[in-house]
Structure 1
């Protein structure tokens, strides 16, 4: 009887947890999930202070049809749906603030919208595909947000920066809508806010009942109930793991891939090094919707997003900042951002944090990951599953890992099938 019968998942964030559930569904029964910290959840698990979650950013799930919600709900998780309200603040060419409701990207007061296909995969080429007025506005934002040369960054960085689609506010919307239907790149690069387009996508989102810490604790219990061996505080040395992996074992590396390069004989690529600073304030009063988030595309101040939410019976707002903020001016930045939806009275700041984020890939990193995948495939075949390292969106990560698990399961048949 051939094929890998055991599966080991490295990394207990959302990707690793979902991989464990999917592996069990596909028939594996000898499953080990290893997480280097003391609890599951990864970057999605916030710190708890007096029963309130200090969230570092805005993490939402979709409605009832969201595949992630369906998977987690099948294992006991409970979600609360809400009206998905969000917006953005941009600057017009005179420097005045412009709010766009129910649209999370930048609005540029430009009548021109003709685009061309990007010349290459770089962020610089993606920006250059727009008319010059829009391209210049976006480049200012990129340099403010990332502090990196767009020519060295992969174009997919537009997704975590929320500039993957632009609203050309002065354009003929009827003509733009028609162009989006007939030209793929116009559709890719532009959006029309749902209030102006009649679209009903993203009207509803959801969050876990009781917060993210409760969600991951419940999922931990559900995994154990299925027979998954969950090992916390388990720091896995990559060189040792790669050397010890046997022909009857499948590996899912759902953690940061950087430590894998040297053991595989590859140079570690240069990364886009970016740290974000987050500040959580109590909200004494707010007469707008909750939860709600507002993106800042003015390239002014320090805050690129304000996210207001409820936790532990209190309203809180987190400022996600591109640099260390001036605490004297930060409350004013938050009130200005939220003013598009309501008047806010802020209380004291109760938490601050700074941490590196590896969500923006350099061109060198994308090429390096491609080489790493090739080396791992040559050595292990389908028995080594990369944890969807390149995509930013949760749904894309889920689809990629699930497809790889299905291929590995086919390799493992009939051993895994008999386990079910």
Structure 2
């Protein structure tokens, strides 16, 4: 059993790993974060007391049994404060004649298709997953993915459907009773099809939670809680993967909660080809007469914005437009108003913030294969003393469960559990 835990990366995964390590009995715990504050990519920039968020990040609300989001429960136990809100969202898709279709309380694409037969993908690629749908659905999904990613969909892993928000599709022209029976009797159809919440009578996801005071306040509270527990937090800490892997410390469990790409070369592995795609975000002051927070996904494959997310910060309603490319600022406010027009009246004010950053949430097939090889090499060399930071799953809860299981295995000296890959849905 190791005496120390060192965590590389002070984002949400690293913070949660530190809390769990302390719960399991470790007392010599260090977080090393390369930036000047904890939070990683989820920590927003502040402008005049307002958070410039780059996208839509929520935590779950209570489920039908009254159980809360496990991340919220863990952070609340360490002094963080959350507030619950009505979870409102929607999507805009294209109808059969090209008109826009607005769907409340469903964040995926709605396609005018009455056919619901479904096949099994011929492979693991996103292209194979899309081809499992009837032709009218497959055509719209392919157009959307090519607009969003601008790459060969055969090279993208099928699990990218989850961050793309196309893991479930509503065949809007289908008979709802027939669709419900199909979902109840065919697990694969249940994974690929959905019925919007308002049409199905489901009560899941009616509420969600956000940190009181915003994400900066959340991560500052986590920092204070970690220090109270005796966790050492080293900021502006640059860690050399080569030096760390060449001379691992005895009696130390290492959690790599950062980007795994720098680990390949020191282990003699080829770095896999990644999906090199940058997205632009624009934050505006807005007035809106609909619900807030709220987000709308754009599946029309038209314009620049694939999502508009409204939230409050610093006493002001703000909207972030997440775009597949740099947008024409003369046209973007109109595009945002059109996307929100099915849900409320949006008035777009001053532009507060612009950012262009790559996103590494869409895995290529090569990346999934490479991460598998990387995990194998790390396990062979270091056993349970090296814990990968749940690199593959997109869902936050899946990441937490995987890292927690590996920490428990390291604490008990047992073989680590196999990595969890989040399933669609």
TM-score using structure 1 length: 0.97
RMSD after superposition: 1.0
Q: Are residue 70 (structure 1) and residue 111 (structure 2) matched?
A: no
Q: For the residues of structure 2 that align with 1:244 and 1:288, how far apart are their CA atoms?
A: 57
Q: What SS does structure 2 have at the residue aligned with 1:278?
A: strand
Q: Deviations over 1:189-213 (max 9, x none)?
A: 0000010000000000010000000
Match of 2:141 among 124, 135, 138: 138
Select 2:334's aligned residue among 310, 313, 332: 332
Residue 272 (structure 1) aligns with: 275
Question: d(CA) in 1 for partners of 2:341 and 2:233?
Answer: 45
Q: Distance in 2 between matches of 1:289 and 1:382?
A: 47
In structure 2, runs of 5+ residues without a counterpart are 63-67, 415-425
Tell me the equivalent position of 2:48. 50
Match of 1:370 in 2: 372
What is aligned with 1:6?
4
Q: Determine helix, strand or coil for the equivalent of 1:290.
A: coil
Distance 1:336 1:79 in 2: 32
Aligned pairs for 1:86-105 (under 5 A) are: 86-105=89-108
* Mapped partners of 1:103, 1:206: distance in 2: 18
What does 1:15-414 align with in structure 2 at a 5 Å threshold?
15-64=13-62, 65-283=68-286, 285-411=287-413
The number of residue pairs the alignment matches comes to 410
Q: Please state how far the C-alpha of 1:93 moved relative to its aligned partner.
A: 2.2
Which structure 1 residue ranges, 5 or more long, are not aligned? 413-420
State how far apart, in whole Å, the 1-side matches of 2:230 and 2:3 are. Answer: 15
Give distance in 2, aligned partners of 1:118 and 1:409: 40
**2-side partners of 1:45 and 1:319: how far apart?**
17
CA shift for structure 1 position 405: 0.6
Match of 2:422 in 1: none
Distance in 2, Cα, partners of 1:19 & 1:244: 23
Offset, 1:247: 3.2
**4+ residue runs over 2 A deviation:** none
Where 2:343 maps in the other structure, the secondary structure is coil
TM-score (norm 2): 0.95
For 1:404 and 1:233, how far apart are their aligned partners in 2?
27
Q: Deviations over 1:322-374 (max 9, x none)?
A: 00001011001111111121101111111100001100111011000000000
